[in-house]
Amino acid sequence: MQRKSRNGKAVQWLSSAVACLLLLSGCVTRSLTIKTDPPGAMVYVNDQLKGTTPLTYDFVWYGWHRVMIRKEGFQRVDDRKKLSAPIYLWIPVDLVMDFLPFRIRDQRTWEYVLAPQTDKTPLPPEMFLKQPQAQAPAALPSAATAAAVDVKKEQAQ
């Protein structure tokens, strides 16, 4: 009888320990910070507006992401970047990491320098040598005008 009581207590203690471990377990949070120089640019990630820089948000999945950054007076930035999972979040290690009694934070930062917008497009060198004079555009001939031109040519011959 004494033996059953010990086994029962051991099972009860073990189940309590597992329940505490599950309740106190941490989790993995993933966040991405995007900074620009100058700050204040609109950021789109995977075609969704995330906000203005500097910007930090929690992301859900690793892999390829499309980034578009826009700011008035600066050239638009289109980029494609890969977020790779750290080794401690690979399968099956990630399962162990999810049950640790503390929080794991995967913090990433991407930085971009925005180039000023150039309003003037460069002209080819031929344009500097010979400037064409403005001419009125010629009207497109209609079928009736083409027939009249043909009649005049026949009369001239």
Rounded to an integer, what distance in angstroms lies between the CA atom of residue 84 and that of residue 12? 42
Select the more confidently predicted residue: 36 or 140: 36
The residue assigned the tokens 């497109």 is: 140
Q: Is the pLDDT of residue 41 over 70?
A: yes
The answer to whether the CB of 83 falls within 8 A of the CB of 8 is no
**Strand ranges (E), the chain:** 28-37, 42-45, 48-52, 55-58, 63-70, 77-83, 104-113
The answer to whether the CB of 97 falls within 8 A of the CB of 89 is yes
DSSP 39: S
- Percentage of residues in the chain with pLDDT exceeding 70? 64
The answer to whether the CB of 67 falls within 8 A of the CB of 80 is yes
Which backbone phi and psi does 27 adopt, to 5 degrees? -150, 175
For position 157, what pLDDT does the model report?
60
Q: Is the pLDDT of residue 55 over 80?
A: yes
CA-to-CA dists, residue 125 to 14, 130, 135, angstroms: 83, 9, 22
Q: Is the pLDDT of residue 128 over 80?
A: no
Residues 6+ apart with CB under 8 A from 100: 25, 26
Q: Is the pLDDT of residue 147 over 60?
A: no
- For residue 149, the surrounding DSSP H or E stretch is helix 143-156
pLDDT tens track for 5-33: 667 787 787 777 666 655 555 677 899 99
Quote the pTM value.
Answer: 0.58
The residue assigned the tokens 């086994």 is: 7
Class of domain 26-113: mainly beta
